[in-house]
Amino acid sequence: MAIDPNNLSATAALTFSEEFDTFDTWNGTTGLDTVGAAQWSTKIRATGTLPYNDESQYYVADADGAVGAANSLPNPFHVADGALTISAAPADPSIQGSLEGQTYTSGMINTYHEFSQTYGYFEMRAELPAGHGLWPAFWMLPEDGSWPPELDVMEMIGSEPNTLRNTVHSQVSGDWKVDDTHYLNEANVTVSDMTSGYHTYGVDWDPDTITWYYDGQPTFQAATPADLNKPMYMIANLAVGGAWAGDPDASTPVPAQMTIDYIRAYASAPTASAPTDTFHFRDASTGDDLYTTSTSERDYIAQNLPSYIDEGVAWMAPAASADTMDVFRFVDTRTGEHFYTASTAERDHIDAMLPSFRDEGVAFQAYADPALAGADALTVQRFLDTATGEHHYTAGDADTVAFEQAHAGANWVHEGLAFTVHAPLSGTLDF
């Protein structure tokens, strides 16, 4: 099923969460990496420095920036108030000999050892730095060390804080051909100022399509390339300089800071069980309404109780979940009337005070909050005949209005909403 970034609780399951209450780096078992993974160590440099992009930063490993580290490199990582700040700054000439020729220090984190996933929704909430020559990014690479593919959730250059770049790289397909083994699809999207505070950057990657999001709103969509079908790990970094971002100048803040509130990943939630047909019978002799989701009970009634007329499918009852509640069924052994309630208090009162009513247990499910039923919601109203004690149920506004008009001035009292279910896909609504 598709993941909705604005309704993750219902459409997705959290698979990874880095909230930065602490900053735990890879210890052989858990933690984030601060050095490059497979692609970096074989194609570029283990530090993650990218000389062929003409970038100016050297990515300092967490251990290199620790207090008392042998090479005395500045630590670009700082955690406070549940957020990680990555700082980029010019390197003092005294340490440039340890920076592989680079003139800035900065930081990169990735989940290469700790987490990778095929398909899903991936999101970072971050505050990005403004300034010429700055290049923050949140992106993904294959766990197996291949390249491409590459999935860039977001890139921005500090001199263009309203331009968000979304890109997917592939060896096999794309709108733009770089060379025979490198294609890409990308969009430069105008958004609100990304340096004006925290914003969310997400991508929903599924087998057929990739959809990018900014603050929960879609910004770009592309077909999923055939080679983007393997586990990917996540990377967040603050690059400096390069052919695209340009060199820092006198207006570039020192230090420049990218602050990350969280990085999370989700898998698509299992498809919920389909709603269940609820069958309706009416006793022609008494007017009793009987509802059941049991096909065996339906068949028994049809074969053995000739006074009960099959009215078809009344509604669809949702599958049991955290969003639903039980609807209980009673039968009055004196009259044969069936009674339904979603109220546990009413159920308990009947059990305690009305011995002629036999408790038949849970009949079906309904929504605890009517708003959760969605576009095909069907509200069932309950009426009481004060002269006979008989109850009647109407489904939907039109049926309720029709019943009220037909019984105006009679003994019927509208007892209000009984429960909310789904409209049927087939059958009748002849109540």
Report d(CA 12, CA 16) in Å as an integer: 12
Name the strand (E) or helix (H) holding 347.
helix 344-353
Report d(CA 110, CA 236) in Å as an integer: 6
Strand-by-strand arrangement of the 324-332 sheet:
338-341, 324-332, 357-367
The residue type found at 420 is T
369 Cβ neighbours under 8 A, 6+ residues apart: 323
Report d(CA 369, CA 429) in Å as an integer: 23
330 Cβ neighbours under 8 A, 6+ residues apart: 338, 339, 340, 341, 350, 357, 358, 359, 360
Q: Compute the half-sphere exposure of residue 299: CA atoms within 13 Å on the CB side of its CA.
A: 3
CB atoms within 10 A of CB 189: 16
Q: Compute the half-sphere exposure of residue 151: CA atoms within 13 Å on the CB side of its CA.
A: 36
Transcribe 19-53 into DSSP letters: --SS--B--SSSSBB-S--HHHHHHS-TT---GGG
Find how far residue 60's CA is from the centre of its chain: 33
Catalytic residue (choose from 155, 186, 311, 337): 155
114 is known as an active-site residue:
no
150 is known as an active-site residue:
yes
For residue 15, what are its two tokens? 């698979």
Catalytic residue (choose from 150, 186, 337, 390): 150
Catalytic residues: 150, 155
